[in-house]
């Protein structure tokens, strides 16, 4: 159990615990933990002067930066509730979330990606790069561990985005354990590629680093050359990210000194075993953790040190402490424990549909558990397509296809078929020559006929969303599905 009741207590105590050790390195901005604590207190005073009281919500619609971190922790220290907003959202999408969250203020970074970040009428907009955060008198408003700390909206892939409410204690308890599982150490230099508007980027990034005393290196926009340069110059030790990050590193590492890298953390339903093996053999990582999580419950499962390459690649590990995972009769992954959200903001009906009377959260993911309790994700219930009456799960088919030596990356979707209703189409990034006919023939020897893709499209790259996951919605548009 964490020694602190709230995130502000934890963050402010980092000034005493780690003192002059570097907390943030963001270009020319270099702050010690003592300086970060001072900046957070002043930011809290600035929010109070701007009319933010205990329980008020503030949105941050901006890229990763030192100012994002100071603003988020300053807001919590003023007693406020954080609402991160996806920087890839169009104004209409962001307006909907800002309005429904009830945010009184929106913090933005003017000119990022050439976009015009605004807010609904009546909501104050403040530029993070202005003097706002430094302009307040030091302040710390007491809050309770059970108070809501953040409202992070779901991606909306299964409908309108819903605001997930999490408390201070939930965040602290879960991400204190994450530090141990991921092997995050005091003094680590943590390159933050995952966006802060995402649960992982903020909680397994900013919160975890302040718990453990790791230096935070925010990355605004992923660029492999920039990332490689920072790793080499700053002697980065900790580098979590999606599988695509490690593909990029393996492709561009020649001539770079990456010897400082020690800990990798990734996660996806379809990681090639060979990718995990290459991360360990061709890059200097000493530990690799994979896991499974979702906005409504944070990190649920994780691999453990000593797991085999195959276990790390093909499963999401075992449940974290005091978290239960089981598989429903229809294959859906259910989760129960202290980590399950307090509920969806202003949506008791959706909350009741997601969490049953026994406290089990319906994740919408389909999976299996092996004899050791390791979770394997087969796919999303929403991604499932039906081939002649049989349920086909893309993640399972992708796992088969990744065993082909010519396949580097793959994404499968269902497309209309006159006879069977739907059939699979594979979008493939190759690492050696292979034809569509050969790949389909190879597939027929390894999976049931209804799972075999009926068509293959070879692409230079798969479309990704802002969190590094494959954007299957874009694939469906491209396919006319």
Model confidence pLDDT, tens digit, residues 97-124: 999 999 999 999 998 988 778 899 999 9
DSSP one-letter string for 1-37: --S-SSHHHHHHHHHHHHTTSEEEEETTEEEEHHHHH
Rounded Cα gap, residues 58 and 105, in angstroms = 5
Q: Does one domain contain both 349 and 212?
A: no
pLDDT band per the 50, 70, 90 thresholds, residue 150: very high
Residue 386 β-bridge partners: 391
Q: Does one domain contain both 77 and 204?
A: yes
Q: Does one domain contain both 189 and 250?
A: no
Rounded Cα gap, residues 449 and 437, in angstroms = 15
CA distances 61 to 105, 109, 170, 450, Å, are 11, 8, 24, 44
Burial class of 118 by CB neighbour count within 10 A (0 to 12, 13 to 18, 19+)? middle
Greater pLDDT, 268 or 145 = 145
Q: Does one domain contain both 104 and 40?
A: yes
- Between β-strands 163-167 and 343-344, what pairing exists: parallel, antiparallel or unpaired? antiparallel
Rounded Cα gap, residues 70 and 64, in angstroms = 11
pLDDT band per the 50, 70, 90 thresholds, residue 156: low
Q: Does one domain contain both 198 and 262?
A: no
pLDDT of residue 111: 87
Sequence-separated (6 or more) residues with CB below 8 Å from residue 348: none
pLDDT of residue 93: 84
Q: Is the per-residue pLDDT at 481 higher than 60?
A: no
Q: Does one domain contain both 243 and 314?
A: yes
pLDDT of residue 90: 80
pLDDT of residue 136: 97
* DSSP symbol at 132: G
Q: Does one domain contain both 365 and 459?
A: no
pLDDT of residue 191: 98
Q: Does one domain contain both 294 and 342?
A: yes
pLDDT of residue 51: 98
Q: Is the per-residue pLDDT at 245 higher than 80?
A: yes
**Are 275 and 266 spatial neighbours (Cβ–Cβ below 8 Å)?**
no
Q: Does one domain contain both 364 and 473?
A: no
Q: Tell me, what CATH number does 353's domain have?
A: 3.40.50.12780
Q: How many CB atoms lie within 10 A of CB 143?
A: 24
- Least reliable range by pLDDT among 187-196, 290-299, 303-312, 465-474: 465-474
**Are 163 and 149 spatial neighbours (Cβ–Cβ below 8 Å)?**
no
Residue identified by tokens 């081939």 is 387
Number of domains, the chain: 3
Choosing from 382, 402, 433, the residue where a domain stops is 382
Q: Name the percent of the chain lying above pLDDT 70.
A: 98
Choosing from 166, 191, 220, the residue where a domain stops is 220
pLDDT of residue 396: 86
Count Cα atoms within 13 angstroms, Cβ side, for 81.
Answer: 24
Average pLDDT, the chain: 93
Sign of CA dihedral 427, 393, 367, 293: positive
Rounded Cα gap, residues 121 and 155, in angstroms = 24
pLDDT of residue 472: 86
pTM assigned to the model: 0.87
Q: Does one domain contain both 136 and 269?
A: no
CA distances 268 to 242, 353, 354, Å, are 7, 26, 22
* DSSP symbol at 108: E
Q: Tell me, what CATH number does 465's domain have?
A: 3.30.300.30
**Are 427 and 410 spatial neighbours (Cβ–Cβ below 8 Å)?**
yes
- Least reliable range by pLDDT among 11-15, 200-204, 242-246, 354-358: 242-246
Nearest to 193 by CA among 464, 473, 472: 464
Q: Does one domain contain both 443 and 459?
A: yes
Q: Give the domain range for residue 452.
A: 383-479
* Rounded mean pLDDT, 233-255: 90
What are 179-224's pLDDT values in tens digits? 999 999 999 999 999 999 999 999 999 999 999 999 999 999 989 9
**Are 323 and 336 spatial neighbours (Cβ–Cβ below 8 Å)?**
yes
pLDDT of residue 160: 78
Q: Is the per-residue pLDDT at 157 higher than 60?
A: no
Choosing from 187, 220, 253, the residue where a domain stops is 220
Rounded Cα gap, residues 3 and 57, in angstroms = 26
pLDDT of residue 466: 62
* DSSP symbol at 214: P
Q: Is the per-residue pLDDT at 320 higher than 80?
A: yes
pLDDT band per the 50, 70, 90 thresholds, residue 468: low
What are 47-94's pLDDT values in tens digits? 999 999 999 999 999 999 999 999 999 999 999 999 999 898 888 889
Q: Does one domain contain both 281 and 330?
A: yes
Q: How many CB atoms lie within 10 A of CB 259?
A: 11
The enclosing H or E element of 404 equals none
Written as six digits, the tokens of 279 are 């991360």
pLDDT band per the 50, 70, 90 thresholds, residue 12: very high
What are 395-441's pLDDT values in tens digits? 889 988 999 999 999 999 999 988 888 999 999 999 999 999 999 99
- Least reliable range by pLDDT among 264-273, 287-296, 399-408, 441-450: 264-273
Q: Is the per-residue pLDDT at 480 higher than 80?
A: no
**Are 245 and 269 spatial neighbours (Cβ–Cβ below 8 Å)?**
no
pLDDT band per the 50, 70, 90 thresholds, residue 386: confident
pLDDT of residue 407: 95
């Amino acid at each position: 159990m964490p020694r602190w009741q709230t995130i502000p207590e934890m963050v402010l105590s980092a000034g005493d615990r780690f003192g002059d050790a570097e907390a943030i390195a963001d270009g020319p901005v270099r702050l010690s933990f003592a300086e970060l604590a001072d900046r957070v207190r002043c930011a809290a005073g600035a929010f109070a002067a701007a009319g933010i009281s205990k329980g008020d919500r503030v949105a941050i619609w901006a890229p990763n930066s030192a100012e994002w971190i100071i603003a988020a922790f300053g807001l919590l220290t003023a007693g406020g509730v954080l609402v991160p907003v996806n920087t890839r959202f169009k104004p209409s999408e962001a307006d909907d979330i800002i309005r429904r969250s009830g945010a009184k203020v929106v913090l933005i970074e003017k000119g990022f990606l050439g976009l015009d970040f605004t807010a609904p009428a009546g909501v104050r907009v403040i530029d993070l790069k202005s003097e706002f955060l430094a302009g307040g008198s030091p302040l710390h408003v007491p809050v309770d561990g059970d108070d809501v700390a953040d409202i992070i909206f779901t991606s909306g892939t299964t409908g309108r985005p819903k605001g997930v409410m999490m408390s201070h204690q939930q965040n602290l308890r879960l991400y204190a354990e994450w530090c141990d599982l991921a092997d995050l150490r005091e003094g680590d230099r943590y390159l933050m590629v995952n966006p802060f508007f995402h649960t992982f980027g903020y909680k397994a990034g900013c919160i975890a680093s302040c718990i453990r005393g790791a230096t935070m290196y925010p990355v605004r926009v992923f660029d492999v050359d920039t990332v490689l340069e920072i790793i080499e110059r700053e002697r980065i030790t900790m580098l979590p990210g999606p599988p695509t990050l490690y593909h990029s590193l393996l492709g561009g590492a020649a001539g770079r000194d990456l010897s400082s890298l020690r800990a990798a953390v990734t996660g996806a339903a379809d990681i090639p075993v060979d990718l995990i093996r290459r991360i360990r053999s061709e890059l200097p990582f000493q530990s690799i953790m994979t896991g499974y999580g979702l906005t409504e419950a944070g990190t649920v499962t994780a691999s453990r040190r000593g797991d085999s390459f195959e276990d790390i690649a093909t499963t999401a590990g075992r449940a974290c402490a005091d978290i239960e995972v089981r598989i429903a009769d229809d294959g859906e992954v259910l989760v129960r424990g202290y980590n399950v959200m307090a509920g969806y903001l202003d949506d008791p009906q959706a909350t009741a549909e997601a969490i049953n009377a026994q406290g089990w959260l319906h994740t919408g993911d389909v999976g299996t558990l092996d004899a050791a309790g390791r979770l394997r994700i087969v796919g999303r219930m929403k991604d499932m397509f039906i081939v002649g009456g049989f349920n086909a799960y893309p993640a399972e088919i992708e796992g088969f296809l990744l065993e082909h030596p010519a396949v580097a990356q793959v994404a499968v979707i269902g497309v209309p078929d006159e006879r069977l209703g739907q059939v699979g189409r594979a979008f493939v990034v190759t690492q050696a020559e292979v034809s569509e006919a050969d790949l389909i023939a190879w597939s027929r020897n390894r999976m049931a006929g209804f799972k075999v893709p009926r068509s293959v499209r070879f692409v230079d790259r798969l479309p990704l969303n802002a969190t590094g996951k494959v954007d299957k919605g874009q694939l469906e548009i491209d396919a006319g599905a």
